[in-house]
Structure 1
Amino acid sequence: MRLNVQLFASVAEAVGSRSWEVELPDGASVQDLLTALLHQHPTVEQLLQISFASVNHRFATPDTKLSAGDEVAILPPVSGGQDDQPRPRFEITDRPLSADQVMAKVRNPLAGAINLFVGTVRELTQGKRTVRLEYEAYEPMALKMMEQIAAEIEERWPGTEVAMSHRIGKLEIEEAAVIIAVATPHRAASYEAGRYAIERLKEIVPIWKKENWDDGTEWIGHQQGPWNPLRPETERDV
């Protein structure tokens, strides 16, 4: 079977392409695919050690079996309609973000509190001066992961409404990269659910950022220990 594999961020740069075609025998697994990629492109070895594969927009284990027609992507560690039409709760966009618009998506008569998180581009990171950031996303999967986070929040904090918007493309200093709004019946839950939302977004949503410093560039991935989006719920700190 022939598969066309989507590549992102640092993996795409290492391979020199946004996609990679491979011929595998029927019954091949994700591990077989990764082995074939490493054989053709040895420079990705270190990246593959910290990356995950997705199959049909779901994170996959190495023993996951592949079938012809599967949509496969290799994901390195993640960082994070028309104006006159209603905007979806979960959004990946190259347009500037509006806190008022995101908050309006969750405002409702039963909400006693709305927690709003706005992540912006800062100039200094560990002593380096950032000129700008560049974000890219595996959009269809990113939106599904945002929906999954909202479902997890609803299970933990019933009655919670969640909206998430994330920018892609080039962002300048002080621009908003991500906005999350969480509306809950009571104040305490809004703080807890809001923190959970941004930490889970950083953990499982396939969005990457490239730091453009005044002396170089680097793709920045997960910054909270080894990236493992398949980690069991009981092992999470958030």
Structure 2
Amino acid sequence: MRSFYTLGLFCLLFAFACTKPAQKTTTATPQTARTTACPEYFYYYQQEKVPLKLKPAYLLAGFQPGLSQEAKTSILKTVPEFENLSTDQSGSAGTFNVVKLRNATSCDRVLQIIKQLQQKNELTFVNPVFDPVSNLGSGYLWVGLTSGFLVTLKSADQMPQLKALLTETRTELLDTLGETTFLIGATKNAKGNALEMANYFHEQPFVENAEPDFFLATKPEDSNLPSR
């Protein structure tokens, strides 16, 4: 009888010792989604880096020649944030249009839209827009990135190096503005947009200076779209 009692007590103690305490159940609190900061951009101006702040409410877009305003608008309506389209604007590197997006469009979203539209055969380039930059003067709302940029060589003898760089970057010589100064074009087929290519050219040892051919936008009284 004593043995049975002792054995029963041993089993009870063993079971108690080996039983793990119940773990406390907690409910995970969903993490608040963090908004990604806008990417940092810059361009070279007189050998200094000038910061650029993305303005997501606008884009500059170049289209294949011959497309009507209705056809361009139809393409852009595939983007939910699209609001309206300017008439043709003339720049040194060619004709383009200003695309107005909803004001609440985020930086992340506008970069996605650029990639989406660049897949369209009808578009030759789609570039971002930035807040005004003080060294470009005053009296305008924003600066738009066209498909052109300006390059000045250190010497006219370095033209062969420039031609090799054009081939490497898939950019195009659009105009000769002086003995050592040239207008270069960067469409979506280049290795980067006009800002990226201007910075890359500027960093070459034979280049004196390279900077984008910006579009400076003002606001006419009768429209919410900029004009040159």
Report the TM-score, using the length of structure 1 for normalisation. Answer: 0.24
| Structure with the larger RCO, 1 or 2 (CA within 8 Å, 6+ apart) | 1
Report the TM-score, using the length of structure 2 for normalisation. Answer: 0.25
Larger radius of gyration: 2
